[in-house]
Structure 1
Amino acid sequence: MSEGANPQNISDQLGANIPYLRRFSRAMTGSQQSGDTFAAATLEAILADRSVLDGHDVKTGLFKVLYSIWASAGAPVEEGENGAHAKAQRRLATLTNNSREALLLHTIEGFSFSEVGEIVGVTQSEAEELISIARNEMADSASGSVMIIEDEAIIAMDIESIVADMGHRITGVARTRDEAIALAKADLPDLILADIQLADNSSGIDAVNDILQAQGARPVIFITAFPERLLTGDKPEPAFLISKPYSVDQVISSVSQAMFFSSTETLNA
């Protein structure tokens, strides 16, 4: 943060980036509750001492403070003695330190290699290496079947191609809530990748919640052109959220992360 910067402008920038800070924190920790706890601690630290942002632009500084707080707490991830969270814990133990977080920062949050290095405390070349390592380690950690809920044919075909090239099996593509429910009954997927607004004005959120209620928990990735409308903090939110327009790297990273954790949190209708 530059010396003499306008406090109101800084506050505005902080406010604009809070939804994305919470998204990163939740993806890092594996749950909305623990992620939001660290996001809140980050804002409290900045309110107590604005100088923690010095030397960085506001967004990079904000994420660096979050990462520092999370790392100093032992880099915790949502724990469980059995089930999906326990499986995630075992998988996390096999990953190179900082690699998964570097991948999230670069592919999902859009930070450059040099900015990723600033946030996690490594050089630019080390950040590039960490991201490459993460792609390889997470791609090898889990594979399975994926259902796509998307009403735009071109986007559905694009996502299908990306996911299939990752080595996952596509169970099918649904354009409406009813089609999604029927497809899940016919071939239950390991992961669901869903748009929010569907062809018949039905909701991808409703479709996913119906499927999970009937078939049991499984990882979900939501796609939306307006992520800030979902990242409000006033109701349950998805652990994995891709913004439209998306990049191939964002889809690959999100699918790898969701498969890796084999768990998710969904939205209330």
Structure 2
Amino acid sequence: MTESNTMDNTFSDHVAAELPYLRRYARALTGSQGRGDKYAVATLDVILRDRSTVEEAPTIKEGLFRCFHAIWVTSGRQLSIEDEVDGLARKAQDHLAALTTNAREVLLLKTIEGFTREEIGRIIEADDTEVTQLLDIAIAEIAASSSGAVMIIEDEPIIAADLEDIVTDLGHRVTGVARTRTEAVALGKADKPSLILADIQLADNSSGIDAVNDLLEGLDVPVVFITAFPERLLTGDRPEPAFLISKPFKVDQVRSAVSQALFFSTTETLHNS
């Protein structure tokens, strides 16, 4: 194998390692797996033609997100998806269009993807002062436009209590905490939530994914998964959640994801393949 081929393979491997996180960001940003993945594919197409933006960045991840952001901006922050014309998708796009330019992007890059303010500034081509202002604006705009009843599916009492505190501090009502798939289904029927916050590994070894799928047979609500096993959901082999947080989580991550999910009022159902 030539040195050039080795370098190409190394670059491709690094991009592939960061791609699940770009796809996560794209889904959270657009509120849709289909729409988000189209942006991710467009980003890869650009990199295949000219990878200089990624190579010149301090890290592959930063360069990948910078390339994505350039496409996101130049496309008007919306791609035409012919098979996504339902009311919820349209409502999500209407909500997105009403936000201050770059505010949600900055919030997601900081709280979900973990970029520093300096890195975000390079990704969106803004200075530190603007990034800070955009973070404040995003938090205020999203908090003012979303509220609801949140159901928590979590088997660890301390984590469940922390999640309850975060949710109630945001001004939302907690319908209850379920520790198993059976409890989750019963709770969902007794008090219908407007958002589900769920772990995927539950107390009796039942699946939070299965619990959510059971609930979504009769509900059309957003879902935020919080899990120590993100690789089980970031596979690309089946529909994935628009909002996924890895354990151990930070309070700001949960606050952002819950607010974002309620803001969009849409979800990606996880049907097993």
| Aligned AA (1:147) | M
Secondary structure of the equivalent of 2:225?
strand
**Contact 1:31-1:264 within 8 A present in 2 as well:** yes
Separation in 2, partners of 1:183, 1:244: 24
CA distance in 2, matches of 1:40, 1:111: 22
In structure 2, give the amino acid aligned to 1:69. I
1:132-166 deviation digits (Å, cap 9, x = unpaired): 11011101111010000000010000001001100
Alignment of 1:216-231 (within 5 A): 216-231=219-234
Q: Does residue 18 in structure 1 map to residue 23 in structure 2? A: no
Residue deviations 1:100-121 (CA, integer Å, cap 9, x gap): 0110011000000011111112
Which runs of no fewer than 5 residues in structure 1 stay unpaired? none
SS in 1 for 2:151: strand
Which stretch shows the higher mean deviation, 89-98 or 65-74?
89-98
Match for residue 239 of structure 2? 236
Structure 1 residues 231 and 78: alpha-carbon distance in aligned structure 2, compared to 1, 3 A threshold: farther
2:14 maps to a residue whose letter is Q
In 2, Cα distance between equivalents of 1:176 and 1:66: 39
Question: Is 1:181 equivalent to 2:185 in the alignment?
Answer: yes
Q: Which runs of 4+ in 1 moved over 3 A?
A: 4-9, 77-83
Q: 1:265 matched to which residue of 2?
A: 268
Q: Name the counterpart of 1:71.
A: 73
Residue of 138, 154, 157 corresponding to 1:153: 157
Alpha carbons of structure 1 residues 222 and 78: separation in structure 2 relative to 1, 3 Å:
farther
Contact 2:216 2:269 in 1 (8 A): no
Shift of 1:89: 3.1
Contact 1:198 1:204 in 2 (8 A): yes
SS of the aligned residue for 1:147 comes to strand
Paired residues in the alignment total 265
- Per-residue CA deviations over 1:64-97 (Å, capped at 9, x if unaligned) read 1011112111101788766333333332233110
Which whole-Å deviations, capped at 9, do the CAs of 1:213-267 have from their partners, x for residues lacking one? 0x22100011111213311111110111011110000000000100000001021
1:10 Cα deviation from its structure 2 partner: 2.7
Query: CA separation in 1, counterparts of 2:65 and 2:173?
Result: 35
Conserved 8 A contact 1:29-1:77: no
**Residues 162-171 or 73-82, more deviating:** 73-82
Matched residue, 2:38: 37
2:142 corresponds to 1:141: no
- The one-letter code of the counterpart of 1:251 is V
Counterparts of 1:81-92 in structure 2 under 5 Å?
83-92=87-96
SS at match of 2:101: coil
**Alignment-mate amino acid for residue 76 of structure 2:** G
Q: Which runs of 5+ in 2 are unaligned?
A: none
Identity %: 60
Q: In terms of mean alpha carbon deviation, does 89-98 or 178-187 score higher?
A: 89-98
State the SS of the aligned residue for 1:148. Answer: strand
Q: CA deviation at 1:6?
A: 4.6
Aligned equivalents of 2:208 and 2:176: distance in 1?
Answer: 15
State the SS of the aligned residue for 1:40: helix
SS of equivalent residue, structure 1 residue 140? helix
Deviation at 1:31, TM superposition (A): 0.7
Q: Does 1:100 align with 2:104?
A: yes
Query: What letter is aligned with 1:103?
Result: L
Give the conservation status (yes or no) of the 8 Å contact 1:30–1:77: no
Q: Please say if residues 25 and 38 of structure 1, whose CA atoms lie closer than 8 Å, have aligned partners that are also in contact.
A: yes
What is the TM-score when the length of structure 1 is the normalising length? 0.93
Residue pairs, 1:246-261, within 5 angstroms: 246-261=249-264
SS in 1 for 2:98: coil
1:93 is paired with a residue whose SS is helix
